Amino acid sequence: MARMTVVDRDGKEHAIDAKPGMKLMEILRELDYGVAAICGGLCSCATCHVFIDEAWVARVPKKQSDEQDLLNELPDYQPATSRLSCQVDFTEALDGLKVTIAADT
Ligand code: FES
């Protein structure tokens, strides 16, 4: 089990256990303050939008074009830190990751 810090929409930090081998979205949608992930990970709803802490951005695998296309449509898109959490594999290498849940769009 790895650890992760999740900042909810009210700015409150939560330290949680996170199981490597899952999509980041799958971890976050289990939380009361997590993501809706309406499309279930098909990269079509953007309700799994999160901001990766700047200290971790370089360690998270790069975006694919379909994820980028959807992110471009979001009003609160941040080029450096925005990700669709359904497109990010949570691995042991991300133990300690910090993410912030984006506002509902
Ligand atoms: S869950 Fe819909 S885009 Fe990620």
Express each pLDDT in 14-42 by its tens digit: 999 999 999 999 999 999 999 999 999 99
What's the rounded mean pLDDT across residues 1-13?
97
Question: Which helix H or strand E contains 66, and what residues bound it?
Answer: helix 65-71
The domains located in the chain, with CATH, are: 2-101 (3.10.20.30)
What's the rounded mean pLDDT across residues 58-69?
96
Dist. CA 24–CA 77, nearest whole Å: 18
100 pLDDT band (50/70/90 cuts)? very high
- Whole-number pLDDT of residue 104: 85
Q: What is the pTM of this model?
A: 0.96
Q: How far is CA 80 from CA 11, 21, 49, 63, 71, in A?
A: 19, 24, 13, 11, 11
Task: Please indicate whether residue 74, judged by its CB atom, sits closer than 6 Å to ligand 1.
Answer: no
Question: If you measure from the C-alpha of residue 48 to the centroid of ligand 1, how many angstroms do you get, rounded to a whole number?
Answer: 5
Question: If you measure from the C-alpha of residue 11 to the centroid of ligand 1, how many angstroms do you get, rounded to a whole number?
Answer: 22
Task: Please indicate whether residue 28, judged by its CB atom, sits closer than 6 Å to ligand 1.
Answer: no
Task: Please indicate whether residue 24, judged by its CB atom, sits closer than 6 Å to ligand 1.
Answer: no
